[in-house]
A and B are shown apart, each in its own frame.
Chain A
Amino acid sequence: MARNLGGFLVLFLAIAICEAASIFQPISDSHRSAALELFSPTDGSFGSLEDTYEALRTFEILGIKKRPDISTASCQSVSETLGSSTSSLKDVFHALKVNNILKCKVNDETFQGVAKRLKAVLNDASSLLDFYYSIGSLVLIKDQNSEVDVLLHDADGVFRSIKALSQSDGRWRYSSNNPESSTYAAGLALEALAGTVSLASSEIDQSLIVTLKNDIVKLFDSIEKYDDGSFYFDEKLVDAREHQGPLSTTSSVVRGFTAFASVTSGIHFLDVLPKSVDVGNYKFVFEIVLHDSEDKNVYATGGQTQVPVFVTGLIKIDNAEIAVLDSDHGSVETQKKLDLAGENAVSLSANHLQKLRLSFRLATPRGNIFKPHQAFLKLRHETKVEHIFVVGNSGKQFEIILVKFLGSTDFLGLVEKFFYLSGRYDIELTVGDAVMENSFLRAVGHVELDLPEAPEKAPRPPPLAVDPSSRYGPKAEITHIFRSPEKRPPQELSLAFLGLTLLPLVGFLIGVSFFY
């Protein structure tokens, strides 16, 4: 059975790693700032303990040091929750999780009280969430305070009552009177069971664990696969009330499974990583090699699983400098130091007989030379004509020398490439790699180029590429021209003429009456 489980493990690792591989992006500042934006406390605390925990955990994973200071408010809320006897199980659970990160000062009596209460709950719990929260809390208490007695005396019983919620297909129900089964619940149940095992005062009945492993095998029957090969779990009933997306379902199952695997001692840690591992791409190769030569007659092996692994890190940049050289002797005319981590605004000027040299050095945290995937130098003229040069490396140093903006014969190309356009060129340096956490695209400054007049047959600059956002983006708003309203006379004038038109009528009537 253990072998079986080990097989799962390999599979499992593959899932996790494949997932990681396909979504792999080095954690960068953009993620961090996004996280900080997403979790911004109001009045020094987050709304609920659950939110607080999520925020803290995110900061922890992303390695955010400068997180907002919420420990006082949160710790107060934690101790209140733990101290109160009416607080819900869920809150207690999250309070303990927050406490796990913040390490608030909670006295032993409080823990004692909570543990007692949790055990009481556990005795007559019926729903899966009750089990999950109380066992999870007990496990957390065990980690935070070794004084408190959290051991379960009736671990077998708890185990059985949780197990009673399991379904034949490996899914779990939330409670005995709820017929809906869920994959997400399976993850919760596994986690709870793992906690039960770890809290058990005596060894758990092995037969229980064996049946549970069978359930897990069944659960894996329902695993699904995206088009890029990564596996995931999803709920069968999409319209269930507490529906979770594929990501949270999968992570729940993974959490439960790892927890269970760790307590049932079926996992092996590979601890043979060489000391010399540095930033870069690595590939893990899994292959079975038979130890005994006799076995080769009995077993046949084959297949190989390769998993790409990225080790990322901050790359040190130093010795950055930019210089204009006199072409003939290579003597330095002007030279400026650059701080590529910060802002730069150097301004240089050069004519067509000179060279431009840009050099810098990249080093890994261990001090090795780092070769980025991309290292470009971009010169952009005022007319938006761009030229991109690849920065080459010469062993230790990265260096680019733009040789002679005009040469006698051979080097004419560069001037021609510049289309004889004199004037200001903005310099932009791009250094980037998948494993380089501080990849950058930075404006270095500008250089004034003084190039000769274009001869007759000089090539014209290419037409500028149309900005896609202007081509496909929203068009400028059309302002409609409305006809201006006709000029109307002042009302008095119109009324006066109205009266005037009546005059002939009056005259006519007078005339008629005159005749009679």
Chain B
Amino acid sequence: MVKTTSKDTQALFHSLRSAYATTPTNLKIIDLYVVFSVFTALIQVVYMAIVGSFPFNSFLSGVLSCIGTAVLAVCLRIQVNKENKEFKDLPPERAFADFVLCNLVLHLVIMNFLG
């Protein structure tokens, strides 16, 4: 039972890796960016857990800016993904413009909130 599970797991990872390998490079870069922001957010949460959340607005704006960029990057990824049928007619330039605009709004708010 355990053996089959581990075997399945191995097979799963293998197929995951092979499936992911076919992803275009630009999408991979976006994925990397998402991972980067999520990790930054996690580090801040760990820091908060250690020393407490005193300047709460700073903590909030730090974490939310990371999560916000991650979410926006995911949106960008969904929109520029060629395989995604729903957004066939959407030019990637427009998606990127949306991304930049949303980031601009997000960080304006973040800066305001930072205090």
The answer to whether A507 and B36 have CB atoms under 8 Å apart is yes
- Across the interface, A487 reaches (CB within 8 A) one of B35, B36, B52, namely B52
In the complex, A206 has a CB within 8 A of chain B: no
The answer to whether B43 and A511 have CB atoms under 8 Å apart is no
In the complex, A411 has a CB within 8 A of chain B: no
Query: In the assembled complex, how far is the CB of residue A495 from the closest CB belonging to chain B, in whole angstroms?
Result: 11
Q: A488-B54, A515-B29 are in contact. Are A505 and B36 (CB under 8 A)?
A: yes
Chain B residue numbers with a CB within 8 Å of A486 are 54-55
The interface size of chain B toward A, counting residues with CB under 8 Å, comes to 19
- Across the interface, A504 reaches (CB within 8 A) one of B36, B51, B55, namely B36
Q: A504-B40, A504-B43, A505-B36 are in contact. Are A515 and B28 (CB under 8 A)?
A: yes
Query: In the assembled complex, how far is the CB of residue B90 from the closest CB belonging to chain A, in whole angstroms?
Result: 24
| Complex CA–CA separation, A88 to B32 (angstroms) | 105
In the complex, B113 has a CB within 8 A of chain A: no
The answer to whether B40 and A501 have CB atoms under 8 Å apart is yes
Interface residues in B1-42 by Cβ distance below 8 A to A read 25, 28-29, 32-33, 35-37, 39-40
Interface residues in A480-501 by Cβ distance below 8 A to B read 486-489, 493-494, 497, 500-501
Query: In the assembled complex, how far is the CB of residue B48 from the closest CB belonging to chain A, in whole angstroms?
Result: 10
Chain B residue numbers with a CB within 8 Å of A507 are 36, 39
- CB-nearest residue of chain A relative to B51? A489
The answer to whether B44 and A515 have CB atoms under 8 Å apart is no
Of listed A503, A505, A508, A515, residue having the most chain B CB within 10 A: A508
Q: A487-B54, A489-B50 are in contact. Are A500 and B43 (CB under 8 A)?
A: yes
Chain B residue numbers with a CB within 8 Å of A505 are 36, 40
| Complex CA–CA separation, A487 to B50 (angstroms) | 12
Query: In the assembled complex, how far is the CB of residue A487 from the closest CB belonging to chain B, in whole angstroms?
Result: 7
In the complex, B47 has a CB within 8 A of chain A: yes
In the complex, A476 has a CB within 8 A of chain B: no
- CB-nearest residue of chain B relative to A508? B36
| Complex CA–CA separation, A371 to B52 (angstroms) | 83
- CB-nearest residue of chain B relative to A514? B32
The answer to whether A512 and B32 have CB atoms under 8 Å apart is yes
- CB-nearest residue of chain B relative to A502? B40
Chain A residue numbers with a CB within 8 Å of B50 are 489, 493
Chain A residue numbers with a CB within 8 Å of B35 are 504, 508
| Complex CA–CA separation, A515 to B26 (angstroms) | 9
| Complex CA–CA separation, A511 to B47 (angstroms) | 25
Chain B residue numbers with a CB within 8 Å of A493 are 50-51
- Across the interface, B43 reaches (CB within 8 A) one of A487, A501, A515, namely A501
Chain A residue numbers with a CB within 8 Å of B47 are 494, 497
Q: A497-B47, A515-B28, A515-B29 are in contact. Are A504 and B39 (CB under 8 A)?
A: yes
| Complex CA–CA separation, A505 to B55 (angstroms) | 24
| Complex CA–CA separation, A500 to B40 (angstroms) | 8
Query: In the assembled complex, how far is the CB of residue A491 from the closest CB belonging to chain B, in whole angstroms?
Result: 11
| Complex CA–CA separation, A380 to B12 (angstroms) | 98
The answer to whether A508 and B32 have CB atoms under 8 Å apart is yes
| Complex CA–CA separation, A504 to B70 (angstroms) | 13
- CB-nearest residue of chain A relative to B26? A515
- CB-nearest residue of chain A relative to B32? A511
| Complex CA–CA separation, A497 to B43 (angstroms) | 8
- Across the interface, A515 reaches (CB within 8 A) one of B25, B51, B52, namely B25
Mask, A297-314, CB within 8 Å of B = 1, is 000000000000000000
Chain B residue numbers with a CB within 8 Å of A489 are 50-52
| Complex CA–CA separation, A516 to B39 (angstroms) | 23
Chain A residue numbers with a CB within 8 Å of B55 are 486
Of listed B25, B37, B40, B46, residue having the most chain A CB within 10 A: B40
Of listed B46, B51, B55, residue having the most chain A CB within 10 A: B51
Query: In the assembled complex, how far is the CB of residue B76 from the closest CB belonging to chain A, in whole angstroms?
Result: 15
| Complex CA–CA separation, A312 to B63 (angstroms) | 92
Chain B residue numbers with a CB within 8 Å of A511 are 29, 32
| Complex CA–CA separation, A497 to B51 (angstroms) | 11
Chain A residue numbers with a CB within 8 Å of B40 are 501, 504-505
Apart from A501-B40, A503-B39: 7 A-B pairs, beta carbons within 8 A: A486-B54, A488-B54, A494-B51, A497-B47, A503-B43, A508-B32, A511-B29
Residues of A within 8 A of B (CB): 486-489, 493-494, 497, 500-501, 503-505, 507-508, 511-512, 515
Residues of B within 8 A of A (CB): 25, 28-29, 32-33, 35-37, 39-40, 43-44, 46-47, 50-52, 54-55
Give me 19 A-to-B residue pairs in the complex whose CB atoms sit less than 8 angstroms apart, sorted by A's number.
A486-B54, A486-B55, A488-B51, A488-B54, A489-B52, A493-B51, A494-B47, A494-B51, A497-B43, A500-B43, A501-B43, A501-B44, A504-B36, A504-B39, A505-B36, A507-B36, A508-B36, A511-B29, A511-B32
5 nearest A-B pairs in the assembled complex, by CB-CB distance: A489-B51, A508-B36, A504-B39, A486-B54, A511-B32
